């Protein structure tokens, strides 16, 4: 049935003039774009959704066991990706002339029934905390046991942001309070604001992410952090916090920014108890005051945290897979494409289907990456500068593979013009809108707008800026070492559908399949949309590499400083 339709279409095409045939073949896939030679446009047009289908199908087979980092399944996936790079003619850009970059990891799981936390007031009996319902914690150092007895220091939101003239670590005398060997008590999120010039108004900056708070306190020598959970501020409930600690948590081995013996969350009520023991009264007014300029200074509380922590520790490694297409000239302005290939592995305790296949998350990103790599490698026109492709590991463990890649890039970070990342693009049709959160922070934005228009892609605004999505995907790991970076994601609008349909598809996937064993390959998936967004990214990368000056962050952006630092070497 389908074949005869195609035959009918073909014979209709043959009746038309040869020019019309060429237009019919070329017009739908890649528009003409100034700055991209015709041979490169043809290479982009060769990007084939059906090849992506083959990659996604293979990577999400049960045979690959959910691609959990450090397992056989993830190794098979990495070998598959490296083999595809080789077959397509890409050069290895990993370690020792291979496609692989080994990422050393350590997994830590707090042993609940052997771990004890209590709050010890200056006088009176200690208050014991129930692990799981009052507090959850991880020892980031990867040691089996830790014993702590340290004073607690309340540092408000735990933010030091010179660009907003804001320092929560300043004590009553104006000097930074000493945190060495102490425990920092910190509020989640950031000072509330609707002023664009103050913590970007309603949008969440990195200062509001809990990862920043751990890092900043660790930089100042703290041995522990107690994050105060309040659902309305965190935008997720205590159950989410608790569940995320139920399985092991991985860190990069030797990560100098992860040195806390107790990286902990406490329930709001526990923090209230702690405040009462310290003679400080009610917590909520204190939280409110901490968000107002001039109304707060850091102070050591007359309360200590005492803890005995035992952890199950597993050291392992998992590979990033990195390949290169050489450019017409060698230095500067290289382009990097990234997609994570790891997923959640197998849950040995689950009944029934216990393999997390990760077909959409992130088989789709891998399919896009591999097809783009093939198209670049086989392009008759050489890209102006080198193009790198990195399939990164341990994203689901906290962007760890990409963090390692950012710290050990195949060429210096200052020489990389742009990173485009692809993560979880449901193959459900041809998108007419894209979500490129973060692209507006670059001087490349006018080019992005121009190319999106040429591809008939409307730009969707971030639907929930308060959730801080920019800081939750692999491009962020590259941004924090200064590389201009964003993810290419589809919006809600698809050809022949209403935006409501698109939203419903996304919601249905999130509810029924996201991070569940049912995220499996579907025969009915339509990969034409993934192909379209790969072609779009191909053209963006080409233009970033081709333009006279490197892409930069807009002046004043939070990543401008690491960008400048990446050039001083
Ligand atoms: Zn995921």
Average pLDDT of the residues in 287-291? 92
CA 487 – ligand 1 centroid, Å: 14
Give the separation between CA 520 and CA 62, rounded to whole angstroms.
9
Nearest to 331 by CA among 404, 458, 417, 398: 417
Look at residue 27 in the predicted model and tell me its pLDDT. 43
Residue 381 main-chain phi, psi, to 5 deg: -100, 130
Helices (H) and strands (E) in the chain, counts: 17, 22
Whole-angstrom distance, CA of residue 414 vs CA of residue 506: 36
For the stretch 335-372, pLDDT in tens is 999 999 999 898 877 778 889 999 999 999 999 999 99
pLDDT in tens, 117-142: 999 998 889 999 999 899 999 999 99
Q: Lowest mean pLDDT of 280-289, 419-428, 437-446, 462-471, name the range.
A: 462-471
Strands 160-161 and 127-129: unpaired
Round to whole Å and give the CA distance between 376 and 383: 8
**Ligand 1 center–CA 356 separation, angstroms:** 10
User: Which pLDDT does position 390 carry in this prediction?
Assistant: 98
69-73, 94-98, 247-251: lowest mean pLDDT where? Answer: 247-251
Structure confidence by residue, pLDDT tens digits, 311-322: 999 999 999 999
CB 470 within 8 A of CB 476: yes
Residue 3 has what pLDDT? Answer: 37
Confidence of residue 569 (pLDDT cuts 50, 70, 90): low
**How close is the Cα of 343 to the center of ligand 1, in Å?**
6
Q: How confident is the model at residue 1 (pLDDT cuts 50, 70, 90)?
A: very low
Instruction: Return all residues near 9 (Cβ < 8 A) that are at least 6 apart.
Output: none
pLDDT band at 466 (very low <50, low <70, confident <90, very high): low
CB 336 within 8 A of CB 418: yes
- Quote the tokens at residue 253: 């081995």
pLDDT at 15 > cutoff 70 = no
Q: How is residue 530 annotated by DSSP? A: H
What is the reported pLDDT for 131? 93
How far, in Å, from the CA of 1 to the mean position of ligand 1?
A: 38
Bridge partner residues of 185 (DSSP): 154, 226
What average pLDDT does this structure show over 73-84?
98
266 C-alpha to center of ligand 1: Å? 25
- pLDDT surpasses 60 at 460: yes
Taking the centre of ligand 1 as the mean of its atom positions, its distance from the CA of residue 492, in whole angstroms, is 19
Please indicate whether residue 225 or residue 514 has the higher confidence score (pLDDT). Answer: 225
Q: How far is the CA of 304 from the centre of ligand 1 (A)?
A: 38
Query: Ligand 1 centroid vs 264 CA: distance in angstroms?
Result: 23
Between the CA of 301 and the centroid of ligand 1 the distance, in Å, is 39
Question: Residue range 428-449: average pLDDT?
Answer: 96
Nearest to 181 by CA among 273, 272, 261, 101: 261
In angstroms, what is the span from residue 363 Cα to ligand 1's centroid?
A: 10
What share of the chain in percent tops pLDDT 90? 72
Tell me, letter by letter, the H, E, C secondary structure of 97-141: HCCEEEEEEEEEEECHHHCEEEEEECCCCCEEECECCCEEEECCC
pLDDT for 440: 93
How many angstroms is it from 509 CA to the middle of ligand 1?
A: 12
Residue-wise pLDDT tens digits, 85-98: 999 999 999 999 99
Q: Is the pLDDT of residue 464 over 70?
A: no
Q: What is the mean pLDDT of residues 433-456?
A: 96
pLDDT of 508 > 80? The answer is yes
The CA 414 to ligand 1 mean position distance, Å, reads: 29
The tokens of 247 are what?
């399985």
Give residue 516 CA to ligand 1 midpoint distance, Å.
10
Cα of 81 from ligand 1 centre, angstroms: 19
Ligand 1 centroid, distance to 169 Cα (angstroms): 34
Compute the distance between CA of residue 267 and CA of residue 132 in angstroms, rounded to an integer: 10
Q: Which domains does the chain have, with CATH numbers?
A: 30-89+326-494+523-567 (3.40.630.10), 108-313 (3.50.30.30)
* CA 183–ligand 1 middle distance (angstroms): 32
- Centre of ligand 1 from the C-alpha of residue 514, in Å: 7
Ligand 1 centre and the CA of 362: distance in Å?
Answer: 7
CB 417 within 8 A of CB 362: no
- 192-205 pLDDT, tens per residue? 888 888 888 887 88
User: In angstroms, what is the span from residue 78 Cα to ligand 1's centroid?
Assistant: 17
Q: How confident is the model at residue 24 (pLDDT cuts 50, 70, 90)?
A: very low
Chain-centroid distance, C-alpha 481 = 14
Are 226 and 154 in contact by the 8 Å Cβ rule? The answer is: no
| pLDDT reading at 22 higher than 50 | no
> Residue 350 Cα, ligand 1 centroid: separation in angstroms?
18
Spacing, Cα 420 to ligand 1 middle (Å): 17
**Mean predicted lDDT score pLDDT of the chain:** 90
- The region, left, alpha or beta by phi > 0 then psi within -120 to 50, assigned to residue 459 is beta
Of 146, 144, 145, 141, the closest CA to residue 254 belongs to 141
What is the number of alpha carbons within 13 Å of residue 101 lying toward its C-beta?
Answer: 24
Q: How far is CA 133 from CA 120, 266, 491, 496, in A?
A: 19, 9, 38, 48
* CA triple 243-248-249, angle to 5 deg: 90
At 202, is the secondary structure helix, strand, or coil? coil
* Whole-number Cα distances in Å, 134 to 121, 270, 520: 17, 6, 36
Banded model confidence at residue 251, pLDDT cuts 50, 70, 90: very high
Find the mean pLDDT for residues 214-232. Answer: 93
What's the pLDDT at 5?
36
Spacing, Cα 178 to ligand 1 middle (Å): 38
Determine the average pLDDT of the residues in 257-261.
Answer: 92
How far does the centroid of ligand 1 lie from the alpha carbon of residue 16, in Å?
A: 47
Quote the CA–CA distance of 138 and 58 in Å, as a whole number: 35
pLDDT value of position 155: 96
pLDDT class of 463 with cuts at 50, 70, 90: low
Q: Please give the distance, rounded to the nearest whole angstrom, from the Cα atom of residue 391 to the centre of ligand 1.
A: 14
Q: How confident is the model at residue 467 (pLDDT cuts 50, 70, 90)?
A: low
- 338/332 Cα distance (integer angstroms): 19
Is 150's pLDDT higher than 80? Answer: yes
**In the numeric block, which tokens belong to residue 210?**
């809990």
Exposed e or buried b per residue across 358-380, where buried means at least 16 C-beta atoms within 10 angstroms of its C-beta: bbbbbbbbbbbbbbbbbbbbebe
* 358 Cα: distance to centroid of ligand 1 (angstroms): 8
Burial (CB < 10 A; 0-12, 13-18, 19+), residue 514, is middle
- 70 C-alpha to center of ligand 1: Å? 17
What does DSSP say about strands 416-421 and 485-487: parallel, antiparallel, or unpaired? Answer: parallel
Q: Are 66 and 345 spatial neighbours (Cβ–Cβ below 8 Å)?
A: yes
Beta bridge partners of 442: 553
Residue 248 pLDDT greater than 80, yes or no: no
Residue 120, both tokens: 């010890």
Residues with CB under 5 A from ligand 1 (ion): 361
Q: How many CB atoms lie within 10 A of CB 386?
A: 26
Q: Would you place residue 412 in the very low, low, confident or very high pLDDT band (cuts 50, 70, 90)?
A: very high
Please answer whether residues 400 and 254 qualify as being in contact, where contact means their C-beta atoms are separated by less than 8 angstroms. no
From residue 312, alpha-carbon distances to 27, 287, 317 in Å are 57, 35, 17
For residue 429, the model assigns a pLDDT of: 96
Instruction: Examine the pLDDT at 243 and tell me if it is beyond 80.
Output: no
Question: Which residues are registered as beta bridge partners of 228?
Answer: 187, 266
User: How far away, in angstroms, is 361 Cα from ligand 1 center?
Assistant: 5
């Amino acid at each position: 049935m389908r074949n005869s339709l195609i035959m009918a279409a073909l014979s209709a095409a043959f009746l038309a003039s040869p020019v019309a045939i060429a237009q019919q073949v070329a017009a739908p896939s890649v528009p003409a774009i100034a700055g991209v030679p015709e041979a490169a446009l043809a290479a982009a047009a060769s990007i084939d959704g059906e090849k992506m289908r083959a990659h996604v199908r293979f990577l999400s087979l049960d045979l690959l066991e959910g691609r959990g980092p450090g397992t056989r399944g993830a190794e098979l996936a990495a070998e598959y990706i490296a083999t595809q790079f080789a077959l397509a003619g890409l050069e290895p850009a990993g370690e020792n002339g291979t496609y692989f970059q080994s990422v050393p990891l350590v997994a830590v799981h707090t042993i609940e029934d052997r771990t004890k936390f209590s709050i010890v007031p200056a006088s009176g009996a200690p208050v014991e905390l129930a692990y799981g319902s009052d507090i959850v914690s991880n020892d980031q150092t990867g040691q089996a046991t830790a014993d702590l007895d340290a004073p607690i220091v309340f540092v408000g939101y735990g933010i030091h942001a010179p660009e907003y003239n804001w320092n929560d670590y300043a004590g009553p005398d104006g000097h930074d309070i000493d945190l060495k060997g102490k425990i920092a008590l910190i509020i989640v999120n950031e000072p509330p604001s609707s002023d664009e010039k103050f913590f970007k108004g309603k949008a969440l900056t990195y200062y509001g992410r809990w990862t920043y708070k751990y890092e900043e306190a660790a930089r100042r020598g703290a041995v522990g952090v107690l994050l105060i959970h309040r659902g309305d501020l965190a935008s997720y409930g205590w159950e989410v916090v608790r569940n995320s600690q139920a399985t092991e948590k991985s860190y990069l081995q030797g990560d100098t920014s992860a040195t806390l013996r107790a990286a902990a969350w406490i329930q709001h009520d526990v923090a209230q108890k702690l405040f009462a023991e310290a003679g400080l009264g009610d917590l909520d007014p204190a939280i409110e005051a901490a968000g107002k300029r001039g109304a707060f200074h850091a102070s050591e509380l007359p309360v200590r945290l005492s803890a005995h922590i035992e952890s199950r520790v597993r050291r392992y490694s998992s590979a990033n897979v990195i390949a290169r297409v050489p450019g017409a000239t060698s230095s500067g302005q290289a382009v990097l494409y990234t997609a994570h290939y790891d997923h959640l592995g197998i849950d040995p305790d689950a009944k029934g289907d216990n393999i997390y296949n990760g077909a959409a998350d992130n088989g789709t990103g891998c399919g896009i990456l591999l097809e783009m790599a093939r198209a670049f490698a086989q392009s008759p026109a050489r890209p102006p500068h080198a193009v790198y492709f990195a399939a990164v590991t341990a994203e689901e463990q906290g962007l760890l593979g990409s963090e390692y890649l950012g710290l050990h890039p195949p060429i210096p970070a200052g020489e990389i013009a742009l990173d485009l990342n692809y993560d979880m693009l449901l193959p459900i049709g041809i998108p007419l809108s894209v979500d490129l959160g973060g692209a507006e922070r670059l001087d490349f934005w006018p080019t992005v707008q121009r190319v999106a228009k040429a591809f008939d892609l409307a730009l969707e605004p971030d639907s929930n800026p308060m959730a801080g999505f920019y800081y939750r995907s692999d491009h962020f790991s590259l941004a924090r070492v200064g590389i201009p970076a964003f993810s290419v994601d589809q919006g809600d609008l698809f050809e022949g559908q209403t935006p409501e349909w698109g939203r419903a598809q996304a919601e249905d996937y999130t509810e029924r399949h996201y991070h569940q064993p049912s995220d499996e390959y579907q025969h009915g998936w339509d990969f034409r949309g993934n192909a379209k967004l790969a072609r779009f990214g191909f053209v963006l990368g080409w233009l970033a590499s081709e333009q006279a000056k490197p892409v930069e962050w807009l002046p004043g952006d939070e990543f401008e400083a690491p960008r400048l630092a990446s050039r001083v070497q």
